[in-house]
Amino acid sequence: KPQRHNPLAEQIIEEEDNAGLRKTPRSKLRKGSKDDDEEANDVMPAALTQKVLEIAQQQKLTDDDLDGLVDDAGTVKGEDDQNEDEEICDVEVDEEGYVLGQGATEEEERALAMFLPSKGTQQAGLTLADVILQKIQEHDARQQRSEAKEAMGE
């Protein structure tokens, strides 16, 4: 009598052999295809080439001009003239280590002090580590109390 289909054992073996393989193969792109060669051989239009050369020459001239403007300090003149306008001054610091701002009113300083912690106070909120350590200590204290009660009861 002829078989109608593959026996189950053969199907399982075939599936194991073909595991991870596609039923229909995918098309693969090869390196160095003909399209790349054609693009490399294409010639740019003359007008575009001329524009690129003009822009490159302009950039070179501006770079050369800037190189000539470097002064003794190593800074480029003409770029940051604002640096000369800025004054370097010492920063005033009060007893608590706060930087004193120029032109800040007392009201602004009070508002700022509300958000900044003072040296004497601790942080208001507990960290996660603080909470965990606190719970561990409470647990240990409960265990010691229960052990002490058991010892007294005996």
Q: Are 14 and 6 in contact (CB under 8 A)?
A: yes
Q: Could you report the per-residue pLDDT of 124-147, keeping only the tens digit for each?
A: 567 889 999 999 999 999 999 999
- What's the confidence (pLDDT) of residue 120? 62
User: Per residue in 48-90, pLDDT tens?
Assistant: 899 999 999 999 988 888 776 655 555 555 555 555 556 666 6
Distance of CA 135 to the CA centre of its chain: 36
* Dihedral sign (CA 90, 96, 101, 104): negative
Q: What is the pLDDT of residue 14?
A: 86
The two three-digit tokens of residue 3, written as one number: 């078989």
Say if CB 70 and CB 76 are below 8 A apart: yes
- 92-106: pLDDT as tens digits: 777 777 776 666 778
Burial class (CB in 10 A: 0-12, 13-18, 19+), 98: middle
Strand, coil or helix: 93: strand
Residue 36 CB-half CA count within 13 A: 5
> What was the pLDDT predicted at 137?
97
Answer whether 78's CB lies under 8 Å from 69's CB: yes
Q: Which residues pair with 79 in a beta bridge?
A: none
Residue written as tokens 């950039």? 59
Longest Cα separation, the chain: 107
